[in-house]
Amino acid sequence: MSFGLVVPIILLALTWSESVRGQSSPQESFMVQYFERRMTHLEERLNQCEANAASMTQRFYDLTSEFRGQLSALTAVKSEVRTQLESMSSRVDRVEGELEYLENKIPAPQNIEIDETLLEQQVMDAELEQLKKKAKLKLNNDCSTALSAVKSLKIVKKVGDTHGSWFHDPTPGSSKVYFLSGLRNNTVLEYASVKSFTEGSTSPKVVKLPSHWQGTGHVVYKGFLYYHKADTPNQIVKVRLPNGTHADTMLLPGAGRLPAYSLNPNTYLDMAVDELGLWIIHADPEYAGNLVITKLDPDSLALEHTWDTLCRSRGAEGAFLICGTLYVVYNTRYGGRSSVQCLYDIHDTIHSEESPVLFFPKRYTSHTSLYYHPQDKQLYAWDDGYQTIYKVETQRKEDQVSFGTE
């Protein structure tokens, strides 16, 4: 509805009805009444329209404000959604970043395999260690002898050179005695027994060797003589004893540059036999001149294992092994009193620092060779040209070591 059109019509109608009222006639007054009724009707309609418009405006206004309210709410929701979306997106980004980081962090499959092999290796090492420990325990149970004292001394004979070696054949059941006089020779004398050697009633068997030996470190083990071949730094010769023929030869790595014991300067390789087998003792200049012990496979002459000991060669005159423990005997240059002052246990059950110094029976001289015999529990010594025997006392390794001194 347009107000602009309605208002001029009403004004026109009013003006016209006033002008005609002056000369009123029944027809005219009827017309006037008609117009007036029409006018009133129109006015009513106009008022209605106005009221409608007002209500419409009000409603429009209400609607608009409602809409505006909703719109602002919507905007708020929208911005909230946007914020949430943004935070969501940044969270997604973060998660992606974290995933990437984790992917980089997590090792590639081949790395995992390497780790597994490492792990396997470690497990195997641990198992091996266990087995070794078991073997060690078994070994200890089988061979648990430890030296506790060097007891009585017996002088058996005085024959041959001031330097030399003599010993009872360590082969179980054998009573044979071997005699190697001097620091260099190619002749070995074999006696039937200690008694036969002492009495000299029967002449010994003379075994001629294919080469000369050197020093005082020779041993007999299961029918073979092992000796340091003269004029070689580190060659060991294995000879069949019945007929003195050459059986085998080997070189001991790292040996031959230092005498095994500083008080016996002609012996570079000292061999020994104990309950566990065949050993070589030498001093290594690259190991501060300390003694190194090597276990030798008697059949193949392969090195089974080498142990670096903390025992000095300086001031030492000899050494022997009992059940895998090296006992090093020290003395003075002038022949004082021999004593065991250092030991090295390959099983690590007895320690030098826990063991008191173990003195040999009083006899103011020096040894050029010392041989332990596992069955006899005796030491066969060459003492300034005398052939002597020491009885030793042993005890189980497990027991607390308590040495006697005399």
Residue ranges in contact with ligand NAG by CB under 6 A: 181-182, 185, 187, 189, 240, 242-243, 245
The smaller minimum CB distance to ligand NAG, of residues 218 and 282, is found at 218
State in angstroms the smallest separation of the CB of 273 from ligand NAG.
20
* Residue 318 one-letter amino acid: G
State in angstroms the smallest separation of the CB of 215 from ligand NAG.
14
State in angstroms the smallest separation of the CB of 209 from ligand NAG.
10
The smaller minimum CB distance to ligand NAG, of residues 160 and 324, is found at 160
What distances in angstroms separate CA 387 from CA 136, 164, 366, 369, one per listed residue? 36, 9, 12, 10
The smaller minimum CB distance to ligand NAG, of residues 189 and 379, is found at 189
What distances in angstroms separate CA 17 from CA 5, 14, 205, one per listed residue? 19, 5, 180
State in angstroms the smallest separation of the CB of 369 from ligand NAG.
15
The smaller minimum CB distance to ligand NAG, of residues 181 and 313, is found at 181
The smaller minimum CB distance to ligand NAG, of residues 117 and 300, is found at 300
The smaller minimum CB distance to ligand NAG, of residues 182 and 254, is found at 182
State in angstroms the smallest separation of the CB of 296 from ligand NAG.
20
State in angstroms the smallest separation of the CB of 277 from ligand NAG.
21
Annotate 348-384 with three-state secondary structure.
Answer: CCCCHHHCCCEECCCCCCCEEEEEEECCCCEEEEEEC
* Residue 156 one-letter amino acid: V
Cα-trace Rg, the chain: 59
Sign of CA dihedral 80, 86, 91, 96: positive
The smaller minimum CB distance to ligand NAG, of residues 59 and 208, is found at 208
What's the rounded Cα separation, in Å, for the pair 38 and 228? 155
The smaller minimum CB distance to ligand NAG, of residues 185 and 306, is found at 185
State in angstroms the smallest separation of the CB of 123 from ligand NAG.
47
The smaller minimum CB distance to ligand NAG, of residues 213 and 320, is found at 213
State in angstroms the smallest separation of the CB of 241 from ligand NAG.
9
What's the rounded Cα separation, in Å, for the pair 177 and 394? 23
State in angstroms the smallest separation of the CB of 367 from ligand NAG.
19
Quote the distance between the C-alpha of residue 379 and its chain's center: 40
State in angstroms the smallest separation of the CB of 363 from ligand NAG.
24
The smaller minimum CB distance to ligand NAG, of residues 189 and 291, is found at 189
The smaller minimum CB distance to ligand NAG, of residues 182 and 335, is found at 182
What's the rounded Cα separation, in Å, for the pair 139 and 59? 109
State in angstroms the smallest separation of the CB of 121 from ligand NAG.
46
Exposure b/e, 3-40, CB count within 10 A at least 16 = b:
eeeeeeeeeeeeeebeeeeeeeeeeeeeebeebeeebe
